[in-house]
Chain A
Amino acid sequence: MVGLSAEAAVANHGAGPAYDEPPVIEVRDLSIAYGGKRALGNVTLDIHRHEIFGIIGPANSGKTSFLRALNRMDAFNSAMEVEGSICINGKNVNDWRNEYALRRRIGVVFPLPAGLPLTVYENVAFSPRLRGIRKKAELDEVVERCLRRAALWDEVKGRLDSLGSLLSGGQQQRLTIARALSQEPELLLLDEFSIAVDPVTTMRIEDVLKELRSELTIVLVTNLVQQARRLADRTAFFLMGELVEIGDTEDLFAGEVKDERTTGYIEGRFG
């Protein structure tokens, strides 16, 4: 984060993933279990800067657990046991003594719009305030920028002081995206963000994500295989706690797979 993001800002790779740099996320032999019951086993993968990394797979295949492990949300659930190592920018997430500082670098968008019981403005200003930004003008600027980037500003600029929960479902989801962006994250984790969003809004958010790729790294968990196809540079297929394969999204959808199950899932024969 501290070191690399500055370089990245200078040597901006445009829209393409930076496969020539060391990976942003290195996952080695990651296993996750809940109370002894395995949810995900032996996952090893790399995710690169400016990449949209898609994760597909049916329910219960460990996708969400994987995301939760990335920003150490396991601290939430005492039954969640994580083994193996996850390094972000070369530093093991478990070596962060201050897991809150780690989470501040990682934006998360949950499946259902998890609004805070605050106004639209305060939702987006929450994280900047945690970072210690106090000046009203500065906060105003951050809030407007993030809402614009989440394609929400025009719809809510007249009612920043009403409760976020009064917005429509699709607006709330974009609000959580704006909130995630307000953290100025290097890493954006999206967990089935389109589950409660209509197709038109989904497309708008997808456009936003494509633009964001030039600034950060996105991990996109989705249960819509076509969404992975539209957005992801590379895609991983998880099935029942197992990483079946990772490949260039185009290759996978062109049928160039190492494992027949991947094609089966993509074509909707099971799952």
Chain B
Amino acid sequence: MTPAGSPGAGAGIGAMDRRDMAWHVDRAARLLVFVGGISAIVFIVGIFVFITKEGLAFVLGPLKLGEFLTSIAWRPTSNNPTYGALALIVGTASVTGFAMLLSVPLSLGAALFIAEFASGKTRETLKVLVEMLAAIPSVVWGFVGMSIMNPLIIQTFDIPVGLNVLNAGLILGLMAAPIMTTIAEDALKAVPDTYREAAEALGATRWEVIVKVVIPASRNGLLAAVLLGVGRGFGETMAVLMASGHAINLPTSVFDSVRALTATIAAELGDTVTGGNHYGSLFTLGILLFVVTFAINLTADIVVRGIRRK
């Protein structure tokens, strides 16, 4: 606003009621922020509508829910096609589960070390390295799985094929670890130092401070970190496709090859007729992925709310 708006102009305070630059900027900024905020909802609803639309004809038509959930016969291109997705569901679950078993303790440990014990240069270097690890493209991880882990596993365990749950789980665990570490470390750092000082002044050791004060206080953030990791593992496609062996199979040990939901979609969608049954069945897998992811997030939300209310 210019000095022209000063009350000395004679018309009194009413003369200042002009829409000036600041007013317009405020309006524009509000609109921009509103669009940004609303876009998340638009996109998620849009994706859900698109996937459902493409898959709906199949879900309402040829899909037999019993077969889909209990049969391992995934033969969409056969003359007499069957759509049993059990092996794919178990494949995804086993790889993700194994990956989490590995990476949750590893990441939380790394986060604790960076946030609570490391200091100065060590801390900064570790943070940067962990974040760089998160930036490695998944296809590169797939390479590692195929050309390094595969022969290594064959050699170490003396088995014919090294592309299996172990391989994919290790790769996926390493992929999920950086994001989990980063988020968990942020959650730990968000705990005010006054808590630590208060507890230490009471004579708690570093470890007691961490276990009794810091971890309980950052529980929500740590849970969010783990769930983001689970989501990452669940949705990962390329690395799993390359490292899991991509064989329809109910695994009985970590040395069995499996096939994941995501990998199936990626590998098969290009060969389908748009709108056909195979096409529709892949979108049904997509709906399943979407529903599971949604359920995980919802559960997390409820758990977190429950903790907050207490």
* A joins B in a complex: yes
List residues of A whose CB falls within 8 A of some B CB: 71, 73, 76, 78, 100-108, 110, 112, 114-118, 126-127, 130, 176, 179-180, 183
Known pairs A78-B119, A116-B213, A117-B213; A104 contacts B195 (CB<8 A): no
A130's partner among B196, B202, B216 (CB-CB below 8 A) is B202
Q: 13 A–B contact pairs at CB < 8 A?
A: A78-B119, A78-B120, A100-B203, A100-B204, A101-B203, A102-B203, A103-B203, A114-B197, A116-B198, A116-B213, A130-B203, A130-B204, A130-B208
Whether A73 touches B200, Cβ cut-off 8 Å, given contacts A78-B119, A117-B195, is: yes
Top 6 nearest A-B pairs by Cβ distance? Answer: A104-B203, A114-B198, A108-B201, A103-B203, A114-B194, A117-B217
Docked-complex contact A76 and B200, CB < 8 angstroms: yes
Tally of B interface residues using CB under 8 Å = 19
> Please, which residues of chain B bring their CB within 8 A of the CB of A114?
194-195, 197-198
A198 to B217, CA, bound (A): 29
Residue of A nearest to B216 (CB): A117
- What 1/0 mask marks residues of chain B from 120 to 163 whose CB sits below 8 Å from any chain A CB? 10000000000000000000000000000000000000000000
Complex CA gap A117/B190 in Å reads: 13
B64 at the interface (CB under 8 A from A): no
Q: How many A-B residue pairs have CB under 8 A?
A: 61
By beta carbon, the residue of chain B nearest A122 is B212
Instruction: Pick the contact of B198: A100, A105, A110 (CB < 8 A).
Output: A110
Q: In the complex, what distance in Å separates the CA atom of A117 from the CA atom of B202?
A: 14
B205 CB–A CB distance under 8 Å: yes
16 more contacts with CB within 8 A, not counting A114-B197, A180-B202, are A71-B201, A100-B200, A103-B200, A107-B201, A110-B194, A112-B194, A114-B194, A114-B198, A115-B198, A116-B198, A117-B216, A127-B203, A130-B204, A130-B208, A179-B198, A183-B203
Taking the closest CB of chain B, its distance from the CB of A149, in whole angstroms, is 16
Chain B residues positioned under 8 Å from A73 (CB to CB)? 197, 200-201
